[in-house]
Amino acid sequence: MTALLEAKGLHAAYGETRVLHGIGFSVREGGVTALLGANGAGKTTTLRAICGTVRTQGEIALGGRRIDGLQTEDIVRLGVAQVPEGRGTFMELTVEENMKLGAYTRPARRVTEDFEHMFDYFPRLKERFRQQAGTLSGGEQQMLAIARALLLRPKLLLLDEPSFGLAPLIVQEIFRILRRIREDAGVSILLVEQNATLALDFADDAFVLETGRIVLSGPSGDIIKDEGVRRSYLGY
């Protein structure tokens, strides 16, 4: 399978603080890659580097086309959608308004048609359509954030800890829906997750970051067998 996203020699820094030290990884066309690592390892920064929201050096290609150095807006237009940590929802606006805003790069008529697909994945969003987003439960807000990103019809979805702060049953529901989305929409996913069991079960490939360097990478089935990963992230 060919790579949709390919990053090489990626460095990133906030001012003088260097966070990524020359990492390389890829996400296959239609595949899921999980990015694991302890707090502060540089996972969110890696997603920011792809979106062009942190000072970055190195090469990033999407479908063979270089996207490093482009404006975030152009990277989004080329098919990269991010579901940020904290979900990036406009709390004062309704579910409907948030969904419309999410797809600002596309014609309004097309987007409204796509709402039906989103309601099929997330029936709760239909029930809560006119409700203020700030009054949604954490799980519903995560669903809204994913729906908003999908309305961009992305080639690549960047998911930052979708399980964060959610009850186990809701997490299971969200991952069940993500599996469907992956199959139907053929979207590729780069998934940052603290819950390594969940991430490795969902992903085809994975890599582990430690203080901005990749210490392990390969098929998820191999990573899950790694003794160090089991001890550090799986707790057995």
Nearest to 75 by CA among 186, 154, 189, 171: 154
Which span sits near ligand ATP by CB under 6 A: 21-29, 34-42, 106-114, 171-179? Answer: 34-42
Find tokens 């999908």 and name the residue: 150
Instruction: Examine residue 41 and tell whether it contacts ligand ATP (CB under 6 A).
Output: yes
Cβ 80 to ligand ATP shortest distance, Å: 17
Q: Rounded to 5 degrees, what are φ and ψ at 218?
A: 155, -170
14 binds ligand ATP (CB under 6 A): yes
User: Chain centroid to CA 232: how far?
Assistant: 23
How far is it, in rounded angstroms, from Cα 136 to Cα 125? Answer: 10
Applying CB under 6 A, which of residues 42, 79, 154, 162 lies at the interface with ligand ATP? 42
Total residues in contact with ligand ATP, by rule CB under 6 A: 11
Contact (Cβ atoms closer than 8 angstroms) between residue 31 and residue 1: yes
Interface with ligand ATP, residue 37, by CB under 6 A: yes
Least distance from ligand ATP to the Cβ atom of residue 228, Å:
17
Residues in the site for ligand ATP, rule: CB under 6 A?
A: 14, 17, 19, 37, 39-45
